[in-house]
Amino acid sequence: MKLIHCVCVAFLLSPLSAVHAEGMRCGTKLVVAGDTKLEVLKKCGEPDFKETIKMLKTSKEVNLSSAGTSTNLTSRHSSLSSHKHSDQSGITLGTETIEAVEQWSYNRGPTQFIKLLTFRGGRLESVDEADRGFAEE
């Protein structure tokens, strides 16, 4: 009977841990994927560290200009610049896009893990945990 009770309690608490993996609590407020940078700043304040990473994103694209049809396999992302490669027949072979990804770090002290927030296109994409935090001097 006690085993069934423990299993039921664990099952009921499992949705709570899923919310934690998708977001971060700042006092009484919660930030989740899809929030803007401004919303995160209002709820959590300035991060301890900000880093912008520029990533080269390559997509395959077929554009048959002679037939008047086109198939595009690119994904929609915020980009800084793009460059297309094409051959003489008008067929587009692919697109290279430089994309800015911003990562914010929140150090919550030595008793908690450092939270890493990743933004793409100005919106929160993910919240991850790094090593344990540290006491600031």
- Lowest pLDDT segment from 13-17, 19-23, 31-35, 44-48: 13-17
Whether the predicted model's global pTM rises above the 0.75 cut = no
Whether the per-residue pLDDT at 20 is higher than 90: the answer is: no
Max Cα distance, the chain (Å): 75
Q: Domains in the chain: how many in total? A: 1
- Give the model confidence (pLDDT) of 74-103 as tens digits: 444 444 444 555 455 556 667 888 889 999
Cα separation, 135 vs 71, in Å, equals 53
User: Domain range spanning residue 135?
Assistant: 1-137
Q: What is the pLDDT of residue 13?
A: 43
Nearby residues of 133 by Cβ (< 8 Å), 6 or more positions away? 107, 108, 109, 110, 111, 112, 113, 114
Calculate the alpha carbon distances from 11 to 8, 35, 87, 116 in Å: 5, 28, 57, 28
Residues 113 and 133 sit within 8 Å (Cβ to Cβ):
yes
| Residue found by looking up tokens 């709570």 in the block | 16
